[in-house]
Structure 1
Amino acid sequence: MTVLGEPRTADERRTPDRRGAVDGGAWRARARRWWPAAWGAVLGAVLFAVAHRAMPDDALISLSFARNLAEHGQWALTTGIEVHTATSPLNIWLLAALHLLTGGHAFLAAGALLAITLAATALWLRDLGGDRVALLGTALLASSPLLGSAVGLETYLAVAVLVGLVRYAADGRWLPAGVLLGAAVLTRPDLLAAALVALLVLLPGAPRLWRALPVGLAVALPWHLFAWWRFGSAWPHTVPIKGNGRGWFDGSFYLWNSWPDFFLVSFTGVTVVALATAAGGLAGAAWSLWTRRWVPVALAAGAVVHFAALGLSHAPPMMYYAGPPIGALAVALVLAADTVRWGWIVPAGLVAAGVAVSVLHGPGWADGLAPVRQNWATNPEYEAIARDLPTDGVVYSSTEIGALAFYCQDRGCTVVDGVLADPGRVDQRWVAPWRAERPWTALNYRHYRPPAPIPARWRLEMGPAEPRPGDWPITRAPGVHQVARLVPEG
């Protein structure tokens, strides 16, 4: 691709293979074609080796869904209790498939998916901007301490889908663009905003791109029809959960307004790198708009609209929710910088800054604390709790559920919560108020039958307290020690 945003001719598409034949034959041509995939896969493997013990609790939610799907054929967070609270069905399907291919190794499946995702991203980046864009763009994504703190979630998958979408849309290839448009919806419902805006920006240069819309609908619709019939809602229950969010602390902290007073104070290095990347991506998009290079503009415009959609949804201040918009702006920055002499220095500097933040974080990764860790306990601490939980009744977790549900699958305990695992409690707390306040959702809930909450025998509480025999120590943050305590429910 010689000019970003302009379709390549057939001769241009054949150029790399022809050049490879002249320079040294088919082997060199293949190496030239596939080295970005190897580069992305290596970066993914290295990142996973660093971050696998520090995956966020929500990542263990995805792994739990994937394990139950692969091993039991259940759409369930807690084994035996089906629930419609998985935000990213595509991420779960891919994890479940890799879970089977790796012989039941859930963490290995997550690492394999990360490597595959970054490999695909690198290939598409090379197609968009050449070798240097593939090299720097993939490195910038892999070195981001914000994105690295979301390993195991659908964050890198979302960025890859957007990059692939604009890669094919820039060439006017509406069929693969449409497939990736549907994949964007299946990756995250809110990702549709970014995908549609990106297509809209590129549409004037490729008028047939409108055909991607029915293709995307054909890809995404079957799952939503199945969910509507099987679970009683075309969209997951996380939509009303986020739509009815009440904010943190004094009720006024959400994702969109927490950067100066919360993120910058609590996660200074990560926030500075993330904001610098976003600013660079926006500046690169402005430069690209001036020079009429539309791919960076499409990615940046989609990122802005996507973040705005997250803000309107009252998403809680979980920093990794901003991962896909920050990732899209990182790619926009690299693509724009490559068109300016010595412009590569800016993304290279951000790569160095991201690596420095991760290196300075040091032993925290191995201790289960990523640079951004907003959970009550680390995964090793949750594993220790699950090892001791009783198996003679359901345990209600008053805080988080992902790691507990994941490790209880191996140890015979059953854990639910009021947000994601127990469909009855999810209905009472989230879905019922959402339906009552929005009569226009009646058609969506036509097949919905509110379930009863699952009775619990025990309650797991977490917070500051004087330790007692039988309590588990937990680490809310470095230097902040609290306890988890099991008490009879009711």
Structure 2
Amino acid sequence: MATGLDQSVEGPARDVPTVPDEPDATPRRRWWDGRTALVAAGGGLLGALLFLVAYRGMPDDSYITLDYARNVVEHGHWGLTPFRDANSATSPLNVWLLIGGILVSGRPVVAVGLVLVATTALTAVWAAQLGRSVGVRPPLVAGLTVGLLVTSPIFASVVGMESFLVAATLVGVARYAADRRAVAAGILTGLAVLTRPDLVLPAVVLVAVLFLAQAPRPWLRALLAVGVGAAVTLPWHIWSWFVLGSFVPDSLIIKTGGAFPGGEVFGNGPLFMAERWPIPMLVVGVVAGVGVVSIVASAVRWARGADRLLDRVVVAAGLAAAAHYGAYAAMGVSSYIWYYCPSLALLTLCAAVGAADLRARVTGAVVTGLALVAGVGVGNQVALGVPWPHPSIFGNWASAADYLNAGRELGRALPPGQSVLAPGEIGTLAYGCGCDIVDQFSDRARLMAIVDARVAEAGPVGAALLRLNFLHAERGPLEAPDHILTYRVGPGPGWPTYVLGRGAGHLVLE
């Protein structure tokens, strides 16, 4: 039994330099066998089940990503519509994977399912391997991590977006950084940044803590990990800077415009969400709370001199979550649901590892409690229908079905060569109509008007960074649209919409 838990046993042998820098390859080869396939299959199955109940109710921003992937496949064009260049896809990695899924399946929505299944399968494998490294039961860590992610009301509300890739890449960084495998940790760090640029912060925190918080401190290997990550991600960002006109995606400019009505920002967003969606947010809060308890317990043991890799991993993940959450709270950005996924994914990993580390009876009780909480979340969501028209946490003005119906009819009603101004949400309408629908996400001229206003409001440093980011952006005249599509509350002429919490509405073409 001791051979299976060699990295969690305290003692001087574990501090020999060759152990943390180059983990024994034999256990790794033994693990890469039928058990890995079973863990991957279990993770993939959970992703498939989520997709089957969520695919009809994907949020508007998921369709923005699908629009980019479909336009690359059908037109060889990087843009939200076939008519204009844009760089508003937050996650180039998600777009590339969806392109592969479309080429395999021929259907963009099916591609979402293929990517989700592959992502949850990889998350399960990396979580299990992390569990093996820290000396707890790998299948339990994998099952808890992926099970809590797919049943999380927040993650379930953003199927089709990059949030599950966020979880997978951060778990992958933790898995390889825990073993101090510099090249692998660096590759996953680069992939995390290609998933979302802001993941550079939690990924580097994971690398720094897990490489450098325990002697011997392999500074060169830590720098190698960061360097490999930069080598993975910089080619795309440099190409994007020169060719697409911005070093980071335009959505990071568009979506960081400040508070929602009522003063709701990222820092206080969970309080507003708890008022709107009390049961889903209770589920999220319990899982996050277990993660926080695990972090505190590991931090106390570490401070008291316990020398365990498990505690270092949990504390590293907790610090990474706090760094991401704190940075977004300090910036005062809007409380978009998916902004919470990086910190929530890391807290979920902490909850899974912490629960697996308890004594057998206590672990069983905690796992049972988490399963019951997850069941409440699932029941709350499937009560809307299977597949659901929209998830239980949902902020769009219309369901995907209503937007797709309006988009298709808009495409038929709009004369060729004419443009239409989007009503404030664009992704699903653009997917349905295939027309020249414009707003800041699809039209760089409209985006640059926002950038100019942001530069005027920013301080010297912020303004300089904005100018540098858009140094190579092309500027064209802001053209008036031929038509305007407007969303109005309540029943009326045009295309009807309905979602719980908002009620009836309608879209009118003017």
In the superposition, the TM-score normalised over structure 2's length comes to 0.87
Asked if 1:477 is matched to 2:480, the reply is no
Structure 1 equivalent of residue 306 of structure 2: none
Please point out which of 352, 356, 359 is paired with 2:372. 352
Please point out which of 99, 103, 127 is paired with 1:100. 103
1:23-422 equivalences under 5 Å are: 30-102=33-105, 104-129=106-131, 130-204=138-212, 205=214, 207=218, 208-243=221-256, 245-250=257-262, 252-260=263-271, 262-292=272-302, 293-341=311-359, 342-361=362-381, 362-364=383-385, 366-389=387-410, 390-392=413-415, 393-409=418-434, 413-417=435-439, 419-422=440-443
Looking at structure 1, the residues matched to 273 and 325 of structure 2 have their Cα atoms a distance apart, in angstroms, of 16
Consecutive unaligned residues in structure 2, runs of 5 or more:
132-137, 303-310
Shift of 1:61: 0.6
Letter of the 1:287 partner, please give it: A
Q: Is the 8 A contact 1:178 1:214 kept in 2?
A: yes
* Distance change in 2, residues 1:431/1:4 (3 Å): farther
Percent identity over the alignment?
A: 33
Letter of the 2:464 partner, please give it: W
Consecutive unaligned residues in structure 1, runs of 5 or more:
21-28
Looking at structure 2, the residues matched to 359 and 439 of structure 1 have their Cα atoms a distance apart, in angstroms, of 48
* Distance change in 2, residues 1:365/1:269 (3 Å): farther
Looking at structure 1, the residues matched to 469 and 149 of structure 2 have their Cα atoms a distance apart, in angstroms, of 37
* Distance change in 2, residues 1:275/1:455 (3 Å): same
Looking at structure 2, the residues matched to 87 and 313 of structure 1 have their Cα atoms a distance apart, in angstroms, of 18
Shift of 1:283: 1.2
Q: Is the 8 A contact 1:473 1:484 kept in 2?
A: yes
Looking at structure 1, the residues matched to 85 and 364 of structure 2 have their Cα atoms a distance apart, in angstroms, of 49
Letter of the 2:266 partner, please give it: L
Looking at structure 2, the residues matched to 350 and 34 of structure 1 have their Cα atoms a distance apart, in angstroms, of 25
Looking at structure 2, the residues matched to 348 and 116 of structure 1 have their Cα atoms a distance apart, in angstroms, of 27
Shift of 1:76: 0.5
Shift of 1:344: 4.7
Letter of the 1:14 partner, please give it: T
Deviation digits for residues 430-478 of structure 1 (CA, Å, limit 9, x no counterpart)? 211233433422333332232223431111111224513xx22111434
RMSD value over aligned CA atoms? Answer: 2.2
The secondary structure found in structure 2 opposite 1:82 is coil
The secondary structure found in structure 1 opposite 2:421 is strand
Looking at structure 1, the residues matched to 291 and 142 of structure 2 have their Cα atoms a distance apart, in angstroms, of 16
Size of the alignment, in residue pairs?
A: 467
In the superposition, the TM-score normalised over structure 1's length comes to 0.90
